[in-house]
A and B are shown apart, each in its own frame.
Chain A
Amino acid sequence: MRLEKLPAEMAKRLSDLECPDFKTTPWVEGPPLKDRRVAIVSSAGLVVRGDKVFRGRDADYRAIPSTTSANDLLCSHISINFDRNGFQEDWNVVFPLDRLNELAAEGTIGSVAATHYSFMGATDPVQMVDGAREVAAKLKADHVDAVLLTSV
């Protein structure tokens, strides 16, 4: 987002939003992309139709199987101050599963995870740590070694 396109007050609020102050800088390397198994983890409050929608600043997460159809993915992010038209027209704008499947089919990446995950991005990130560690364990069980993080 080019913040200069927003009203100054809103840009300042977004720019100055309190963020975690991590003392470490973890860094994991791995094999070439053609051998990676890739998952999407989103903070867009995504939820599979019929699953429990995010109701506020929830700290937990939702699982999104790779078999989910575009018609069954909803966005329940609490904020109304971001565009939803893009997602309404094409879910790949937020959840690029079709693009990942194409990259896997052509061999650019190794494979696509069996399950993807979503958090509620308006939640204090510090409260997400337990859920993130649960998700990490599930991703490792699925042999995922690369995560594409998408926010809104």
Chain B
Amino acid sequence: MSALGHYLEEEGIASVAIALIRPQAEHTRPPRALWVPFELGRPIGPPSDPVFQRQVILSALGMLVEGGGPVRIVDFPDDDPREAFDPNWQAPLNPHPNPPPQAGEGEFGVPAAATPSPASGGGSGWGFGSELAEAVEAELGAMAPAYAASCVARERSTVGLSGLPPAECGAYVAAWLRGERPASPVVDMSPGLALRFAIDDLKAFALEAALIPGTQPSSKQLGDWLWNETVLGAGLKLLRRTILAGDDDRLKAAAAFFVPALRVPPGG
């Protein structure tokens, strides 16, 4: 980001970067950067807080007329209040009667060590998860009303990278969980790329379903729910682990983007 500021300034346009990682700004030495202490992904700070966001933006834009450069890095003083836990937030319905297992225990009673791999499974793949696939699709269906209500409240959705409706994303991911090797449902995407974007869309679908109007959950609350309590989270971790244990390098490249690093169970 700071490099873009350098390039734009070389072309005669004044710029100020909002930097989340201070050492990177220090190394790149942009004309101007406002370092903010917020979590990655939130350069302007808390969502739904126009007053706080305005402070951040004015702090940054103010640097355009303050002089003191080139190479001026200023620290924004305040932390993001939305990092706090919201006790009023409740997860949307999880319809599965049995909670998904904890990391490392295997999914739905199947010990992790017994999970078939593409290499050992033979035939069409690693057919291990018909029950899981069914549960994922059922859970997505149960989340649909909450997702729809959330879209109405926010007047938007960020689902759409794959170009498929959420139900088709769910069906495609479920097919992989059943051990099939389905063709890509997207004309100009490989199966692996379509799988990556379909999973991105399902994560967005679930997390947007969890944005309950009137509550202010932290990202940690939402992430803990998605990755520790939902069948979708359990399924994505299992799919990642299984594909990475296989020998299809293109699929493995896609699977690396299924689960955030901080949510990968010990041992993968």
Contact = CB atoms under 8 A, between A and B. Distances in A.
Contacts of A36: 61, 64
A1 B158 CA distance: 24
Interface string B84-112: 00000000000000000000000000000
Interface residues of A, number: 83
B64 A135 contact: no
Contacts, number: 256
Interface in B16-35: 16-24, 27-29, 31
Contacts of B19: 151
B219 A41 contact: no
Contacts of B3: 19-20, 22, 125-126, 128
Contact of B261 (A19, A41, A81, A121): A81
B24 A19 contact: yes
A25 B31 contact: yes
B8 A41 contact: yes
A82 B257 CA distance: 12
Given A55-B193, A100-B57, A85 B14 contact: no
Task: Choose among B8, B15, B21, B261 the residue with the greatest number of A CB atoms under 10 Å from its CB.
Answer: B8
Given A33-B64, A53-B161, A129 B7 contact: yes
A64 interface: no
B10 A85 contact: no
B13 A139 contact: yes
A90 B47 contact: yes
Contacts of B27: 19, 21
A28 B45 contact: no
Contact of B262 (A29, A81, A103, A147): A81
A76 B163 CA distance: 12
Task: Choose among A1, A71, A125, A128 the residue with the greatest number of B CB atoms under 10 Å from its CB.
Answer: A1
13 contacts: A2-B79, A3-B21, A10-B262, A14-B23, A38-B61, A85-B217, A93-B41, A126-B3, A147-B14, A147-B16, A148-B18, A149-B17, A152-B43
